Structure formats: C-alpha cells, structure tokens
Structure 1
C-alpha cells in the first residue's frame, strides 16, 4: 500500500498493527527514513517466494529496481504526487504475468490535492488504463493496447461496459 508521505505511511502501519496485533510479523513500513539495515530486511524477503511479509506500507522510496515476487495487489492510498508516481506504484504488481489488481483508494478530501493528470485517472468514465497510458504512449500504441486488453479485466469502467460474460 502506497501513501505519499512518511506520516501517512506511519499512521497506516500503526493503525493496522494496533487493530490486528498478531499482524506485526506480517506487516512492514518502508520510506526514505527507514534505516539501510531495515530496508534490506524488508526488500530481500520480498524478492523470494517464501516471504512472510504480506503488507508493506510505503512511500515511493520503495520503487524502481525492486523485483517483488508474486505481488498481485497494490493500493495507492490518497493522492499520488504525479502520474509518474502512480505508474511507479502500480508498476510493482503483476510482473509474473498473473492476474493482478491495483485499487486506487481515495476520498473527497484526497481529490482536492490531486494534480490535473492524476485527477483525470480517478474521475474518468472511460477506460482508466487508456487515460493513464495516454501520458506515455502515442495514439497508435494506445489503439494497440485497447485491442489487446480483455475489457472485463482492464479497469472498473471497462468491466461495467463489458458484455463478453467472462470473469
């Protein structure tokens, strides 16, 4: 689960571990102020199938260059600072080509602080993947992306409009 500040990451971690005390061995917190020793303690198990870590509350400090094994869900919480931050966050998921999900979690207070590009992804009624990737791809590449995707597994907006009957 990504949040855009150390304060938010700390609050999410503290809330989770206080509400579910037995989760302390399964939950970690990662941000720029995490010691190198703890960063290594978190990253190494995440790169192995046998990891006991189930949830990591993190800022974008947990980002590029880390190949997390079997990560199938990401939750950006609140307002990512930019489209690039959002892409880096959700880019951690599904690297093994297994079905994966990114759940963009926000409330109306978060919407006030979104930049325009990020706001468009959260508020659009059309394909969220297309809107997100329009910041990085040419029109011809976007058309190819649209042809390849299964509508019922693309995004919540596509799933609403999918009539294939698939799951």
Structure 2
C-alpha cells in the first residue's frame, strides 16, 4: 500500500504522518503547493474565526464579474503562513529560528478581522461608525499605528 501511495503522490509532497492528536497535517494550497501544519496550527485553522474566512472573498465583489477570481481570505492566509515560514528560514539568525512558529501563526491570523466584502465593507463601516472607529484608534494599544478596521477587529478577536 505504501508503495502505491508513494507512486501516485507528487515529488514535492511533504512526508508526514496522518493527523492525530499530536501529529503534523499536510495540506495543499493552490498557489504555493504543499505545506506541513503543526497540531497547534490546524487547531487554530479549525477555529470559527478562521473558518469564516472561507466565505470572505479576497477580491471583494470581483468574482461576480470574473468567476474564476474565487480566492478566499482562508486560502490567502494559508499562503501567507508558508511565505512567512520561508522568510523566517532565510532572514532569521539560527537562534531566532524558534520564532518561525510565531510568524506562521501571525500570518494565519492576520485576516481574521476582515468583514463580508473585505476592504469594500470596511470603507462603508468606517464612514458609518466613524466616532467608534476614531475612539478605538486613539486607544493606547494602537498609538503610533496606521490601522484599518480589519486590524482593529483582528486585535479584538485575538485579544478576547
């Protein structure tokens, strides 16, 4: 059986065990290919805040005009995790390599605050709730940062 499975799998497929409680999980992202998820990462991926990203289009309403532009924030987050890992492996010093796990989690979570039509709805919501948006941006934890609504919502979700 193992020989047959090996014969049909692409050469770039990472070798990892079937996912169990404490084992890695292999997934395939459409643009960057296969990557290995650690148990803590797929627990985060299975959480409601990340699962809702499957229904938020990366390109807002463009998929209505271009049906093949069906990219989701979920797909994007998976790709970002792989790119964050690659950057960490190239740019971090050997003693900083332990931070790659943090980079991957930050990449997976960076879009959790996006709303239903992505940046399009953020623009509408910011104008509609400008007083709340302005008050939150003035909070000490956001001082000195240029934040959009999605970053504020992401912060509130992760902080809670």
Normalising by the smaller structure, the TM-score range is under 0.3
When the two structures are superposed, what TM-score results if normalisation uses the length of structure 1?
0.24
More helix by share: 2
Which structure has the larger Rg over C-alpha atoms?
2
When the two structures are superposed, what TM-score results if normalisation uses the length of structure 2?
0.24
